[in-house]
Amino acid sequence: MKSREELKYYELMEPYRKRIDNLDKEIVKLFAARMDIMREVALFKYKNNIDAVLPDRIEMVKDHVCLLSEKYGLNPNMVRDIYTIMIDESCKTEDSIINNIDNNGKTK
């Protein structure tokens, strides 16, 4: 059982937790919106015979978000790590989509 002091702590923290939970929801929605665009990109790349993975573009994106992170007082290495994971997943999704398009340009 929690002490009164612990309960008070949890009660005082609740408004902060709600704000963080709301931001987390928005972040996940933005990740989903980004992946939706990546699916469109995959189809565009397929139709225009463009490689799914473009290493120069990947580095450009990572460099750009690192600069943004510094502007907003964030650790650029943390942001680069997050984007590395996100871009890796995007590349896997693009590969999967491109590899599952039939001869008529429709996804299987």
Q: Give me the CATH number covering residue 85.
A: 1.20.59.10
Q: Is residue 50 part of a domain?
A: yes
Number of structural domains (the chain) is 1
Looking at residue 29, what is its pLDDT? 98
What tens digit of pLDDT does each residue of 48-107 get?
999 888 999 999 999 999 999 999 999 999 999 999 999 999 999 999 988 887 655 566
Spatial separation of the C-alpha atoms in residues 55 and 88, rounded to whole Å: 11
46 and 98 Cβ atoms separated by less than 8 Å: yes
Spatial separation of the C-alpha atoms in residues 82 and 46, rounded to whole Å: 27
Q: Is residue 104 part of a domain?
A: no
- H, E, C per residue of 41-102: HHHHHHHCCCCCCCHHHHHHHHHHHHHHHHHCCCCHHHHHHHHHHHHHHHHHHHHHHHHCEC
Looking at residue 39, what is its pLDDT? 93
